[in-house]
Amino acid sequence: MIKNLRLPKPSKNNLKVCLPFGFILIAFSILDVFINSFFEINLTSAFAPISTILPLFLGFFGFYLIRIEYAGIKHLDLLNKNINTNNFNAFLTLIIIFTILKVLPEFLSWFIFDANISGNSSDACTGSGACWTYIKVWLRRFIYGMYPNAEQWRINIAFISFLLLGLLGIFSNEKTKKFLILYYSLVYPILAFLIIYFLISGGVFGLEWIQTNSWGGLSLTFIVSFFSLIFCFPLGMLLALGRRSNLPAVRYVSIGFIEFWRGVPLITVLFMASVIFPMFLPSGVSIDTLVRAIVAIALFEAAYVAEVIRGGLQALSRGQYDAAKSLGMSYWKLHYLVILPQALKIVIPGIANTFLALVKDTPLIFVVGLLELIGMTNMAKTNPKWLGFAMESYIFAGLVFFIICYGMSKYSQYLERKISTER
């Protein structure tokens, strides 16, 4: 096998010979596959019987020649440490590179070069490439759903107000900084929700009333995921503390709540919120569908957030509690100043993972009759005028979700670095 192949091992003594020769072989093998894929020219055609596998052999031997431990060259040592650790990894790296180069021309041709973006109907998509005209025509629906075109400025104003309220903390001074936690945990979520809800739904200040079933698209995805997130986090924190409480009633209620919501699928929770819950309301009393969906998702995700935070609490030693109690701290002061900051720092990756799962679970709100981005995508692909272009819509939705999730992931990594106590 390749992994057990034994060849003369290069070292720092023959670095000046092995290094250039190895990189030349790697570059030639990749160039051969590249030219063959894009221009259908085979540089190794003279070796007809083995021309197909020759680039792989040359690249493999090149990786072997540059596998020099502690060569003293930063990038080379990094390459050998992470990719070129052994024969198998070198072989696997080449297979991945060659596969990408083989697939890339056809993908670029479909995605960019032969794609159609002009026109306003499906008749404009006559080529073999992607029909981005479809995305251009439906872009408003993908962002705003079935919200009336003439009233879409209200959504824009609502989100601009939301961002401005969130940026108030940047302009705080030393006197107001101590109130930021209270502002972002209590005032900001409630105020932002009221602004977004009443400005978009209307019915006040002379604005036209628009039912929430007309909301949709990416804007609805953001509303549901964000407000579910900010409401489930403090509840999950309280549940985590309650599960570790010394009071039996508080502990058993917290355990019962967590295990109940973790034992039920989210789609069932949304169905209960949409169909079953209104049956228990008094006659003439109704709660908006969107509010019910947000509350249901927040309660569901709070159970998972609670378990993640509980893991962070269990990671702390008992000495942290004893030291804080010796200073005369009360229960809430102990957790607010000592325990929770350390626990939350430990479980940032787990919390980020839970939040990412929440964002990707938002398409399930179709159960309550709300069409967010994926729901609008499914509706658009069934339009008789645009049949056969589902691939483009799913690629668009996938890219949007990727950007959102990748942004949240990078932000969580930034928080880890910022609050890290390791030096």
pLDDT digits (tens, 9 = 90+) for 339-384: 888 888 888 888 889 889 989 888 888 888 888 899 899 888 888 8
Q: Is the pLDDT of residue 423 over 60?
A: no
CA distance linking residue 341 with residue 346, whole number of Å: 9
Q: Read off the pLDDT band of 7 (50, 70, 90).
A: low
Q: Quote the pLDDT of residue 390.
A: 85
Average pLDDT over residues 386-403: 89
Token digits for 34? 């590249």
pLDDT digits (tens, 9 = 90+) for 238-247: 999 999 888 8
Q: 118 or 7: which carries more pLDDT confidence?
A: 118
Return the CATH number of the domain spanning residue range 132-147+210-418: 1.10.3720.10
Upper half-sphere CA count for residue 386 (Cβ side, 13 Å)? 23
Q: How far apart are the first and last CA of the chain?
A: 44
- Residue 67 one-letter amino acid: R
Q: Read off the pLDDT band of 1 (50, 70, 90).
A: very low
The DSSP symbol for 86 reads S
Helix axes 348-361, 289-315, angle to 10 degrees: 160
Token digits for 56? 């792989």
H or E element, residue 372: strand 371-372
Q: Quote the pLDDT of residue 421.
A: 64
Q: Read off the pLDDT band of 40 (50, 70, 90).
A: confident
Q: What are phi and psi of 226, to 5 degrees?
A: -70, -50
Token digits for 360? 């990707």
CA distance linking residue 37 with residue 33, whole number of Å: 6
H or E element, residue 358: helix 348-361
SS3 of residue 203 by DSSP? coil
Q: Quote the pLDDT of residue 230.
A: 86
Q: Is the pLDDT of residue 25 over 80?
A: yes
Report the C-alpha dihedral over residues 330, 331, 335, 339, rounded to 10 degrees.
90
Average pLDDT over residues 146-151: 88
Whole-number CA gyration radius for the chain: 29
The DSSP symbol for 214 reads G
pLDDT digits (tens, 9 = 90+) for 262-310: 888 988 888 888 888 877 777 777 788 888 888 899 999 999 999 999 9
SS3 of residue 119 by DSSP? coil
CA distance linking residue 298 with residue 358, whole number of Å: 9
Q: What average pLDDT is seen over the chain?
A: 85
With beta carbons less than 8 A apart as the criterion, state whether 300 and 261 touch: yes
Domain assignments of the chain as residue spans, ordered by start: 2-113, 132-147+210-418
Q: Quote the pLDDT of residue 4.
A: 55
Q: Is the pLDDT of residue 135 over 60?
A: yes
The residue among 79, 375, 403 whose CA lies nearest residue 215 is 375
CA 82 to chain centre: 25
Q: What is the pTM of this model?
A: 0.81
Q: What are phi and psi of 216, to 5 degrees?
A: 170, -175
Q: Quote the pLDDT of residue 5.
A: 52
Average pLDDT over residues 69-98: 87
With beta carbons less than 8 A apart as the criterion, state whether 154 and 202 touch: yes
